[in-house]
Structure 1
Amino acid sequence: MADFLSPAERSARMARIRSNDTAPEVTLRRALHRLGLRYVLHKKGLPGKPDLVFPKHRTVVFVHGCFWHRHEGCKVASTPKSNTQFWTDKFDRNVARDAQVQDALLAQGWHVFVVWECDLQSKTRANLRAETLAADIRREPDIEKVRSKDFRFRQAHRRASVQKQKGRRHARRIPTSASANIK
């Protein structure tokens, strides 16, 4: 299907897409502030510049758009019909970057929450989501759970790197001359 906008109109429309202070982000910020939580916006020293940073609770929150960050099962996360390969590659890069940022923050000891745009569509849903998020942020983590999760994460990471190393060793294996000398 051809684009119904001219290239100039499409460019102007794409230029209006904001990365900071989006409507869902502002809605969540207001609701959390109303619930008594104080935060820092877009802290540059952290990986991915999280939308909301709660230093007191060592927690970060990302407000993701369903379309750009590929919310699983959401009807908004559709793929455009024109230039499909470009969009698929772009979405894959976005999702991979999101995973890398979350892993980096977890490795630094931060708690990471993702709130999706569709969770903030109506005022009622936004307030409900803000209340559950506020409770999760304020909840003291069970240290044993955190340790076991961290241990399991490190174990899985080690297993993956060992598998990768084994694959490299097997791929580079060269037949030895010892087997050629056997008579």
Structure 2
Amino acid sequence: MSPATRSALMSRIRGKDTAPELLLARLLRRSRKRFQVHQRDLPGRPDIVFRRAKVAVFVDGDFWHGWRFPVWRLKLSEKWEAKIEANRRRDMRNHARLRRAGWTVVRIWEHQLKADPGACLLRVLMAVEEGPRDGPDGLVTSQRQ
């Protein structure tokens, strides 16, 4: 693929309001849950936020966020391997920052949403129902992912 063709193709990839995000948002609206999207004041700018319950939801693309990255990382050029590895490190940093602030973080992968949207919706609704889970030191006491 020529650099111009690749550039044109990559420019069409969205960073927010992707099809998987919009699908999950539609399912949440049908379940009558109120939420916010892409909140800039939170680490990582979560795709969906339930402030009262302190739940941050990320809908991650399998390629860009490196689902099972160690299995296929060697098939990439150095540039792309470094890019996806940097994305994964940033995701882990933001996850940790949110958890330290008392947030529950739910990560939904693109392939999970395609395979079983109902199960993904249920995971989010269960996290929202449980609400904030702060321990005595202000940290979340259990990790869900």
User: TM-score, structure 2 length as denominator?
Assistant: 0.84
Which residue does the alignment assign to 1:8? 4
Tell me, yes or no, if structure 1 residue 85 matches structure 2 residue 78. yes
Q: Matches of 1:80 and 1:17 in 2, distance apart?
A: 23
CA contact (8 A) 1:41 1:50 kept: yes
Quote the RMSD (CA, aligned, Å). 2.7
Tell me, yes or no, if structure 1 residue 34 matches structure 2 residue 30. yes
Q: Matches of 1:149 and 1:40 in 2, distance apart?
A: 24
Which residue does the alignment assign to 1:126? 117
How far residue 16 of structure 1 moved from its aligned partner, in angstroms, is: 0.5
CA contact (8 A) 2:43 2:94 kept: yes
Greater percentage in helix: 1
Which residue does the alignment assign to 1:49? 45
* 1:36 partner SS: coil
Query: Which consecutive residues of structure 1, in runs of 5 or more, have no partner in the other structure?
Result: 154-183
Query: Which consecutive residues of structure 2, in runs of 5 or more, have no partner in the other structure?
Result: none
- Higher normalized contact order (CA 8 Å, seq sep 6+, divided by chain length): 2
Q: Matches of 2:18 and 2:74 in 1, distance apart?
A: 22
How many residues in Structure 1 have an aligned counterpart in Structure 2? Answer: 142
Identity %: 35
Residue 111 of structure 1, aligned match among 104, 113, 132: 104
How far residue 151 of structure 1 moved from its aligned partner, in angstroms, is: 8.8
Q: Matches of 1:87 and 1:38 in 2, distance apart?
A: 37
How far residue 70 of structure 1 moved from its aligned partner, in angstroms, is: 1.1
Give the 3 Å change call, closer, same or farther, for CA 139–78 of structure 1 in structure 2.
Answer: same
Letter in 1 for 2:102: G
Letter in 2 for 1:66: D
How far residue 128 of structure 1 moved from its aligned partner, in angstroms, is: 2.4
How far residue 29 of structure 1 moved from its aligned partner, in angstroms, is: 0.7
Give the 3 Å change call, closer, same or farther, for CA 147–71 of structure 1 in structure 2.
Answer: farther
How far residue 111 of structure 1 moved from its aligned partner, in angstroms, is: 1.1
